[in-house]
Amino acid sequence: MKTEPSEFSIEDLQRVKTEPWDGVRNYQARNFMRDDMRVGDRVLFYHSNAKPSGVAGVAEICREAYPDFTAWDPGNKHFDPKTDPKKPTWMMVDVRFIKEFPSVVSLEAMKLNPKLAGMLVLKRGMRLSIQPVEPAHFREVVKMAGLGFTHLF
């Protein structure tokens, strides 16, 4: 899951413990949240537009998809006047803090790791804010952070 750390960072998640992932206004990203995310699923928490950009830590899904009520709040930045609260278009999940990496696993380092070949986030032009991650890729990123399986439990 991507976020700009100036908006909401892994440190922010650590502070608040859990966070509703509101504001997603892309159908493909919504579908991943709605169809593929289940409570307990682990998340690579990615800082975009950052120095450096990369994976900053690990989180987990703690509530499955439900309507993103910010879509029909005219005062909200992500207000979508076309949506009907009776038939919500946009969904969100809740995310819980697990671990901040000792240092960010940078996009640059990930590109250089052959074991991450084919990972979606490394593809040119890949802007989706929510992407599925192969288990092997997930483990490799955690390893690059200098952590092991036990650090995440």
Partner DNA sequence: GCCAACGTTGGC
Residues that bind DNA (CB under 7 A): 2, 4, 26-28, 48-50, 53, 82, 107-108, 111, 124-129
* Residue with smaller CB distance to DNA, 17 or 127: 127
- Calculate ∠ Cα 12-23-47, nearest 5°: 45
CA–CA separation, 42 vs 60, rounded Å? 4
* Residue with smaller CB distance to DNA, 86 or 124: 124
* Residue with smaller CB distance to DNA, 74 or 125: 125
- Calculate ∠ Cα 25-30-34, nearest 5°: 150
**Do residues 105 and 58 lie in contact, with contact meaning Cβ atoms separated by under 8 Å?**
no
In this structure, what token pair is assigned to residue 20? 């509703």
Smallest distance, Å, CB 147 to DNA? 21
Smallest distance, Å, CB 109 to DNA? 10
Smallest distance, Å, CB 68 to DNA? 14
Residue owning tokens 């700009």: 4
* Residue with smaller CB distance to DNA, 15 or 78: 78
Smallest distance, Å, CB 149 to DNA? 26
In this structure, what token pair is assigned to residue 134? 């192969």
Smallest distance, Å, CB 148 to DNA? 26
CA–CA separation, 109 vs 106, rounded Å? 5
- Strand pairing of 42-47 and 2-3? parallel
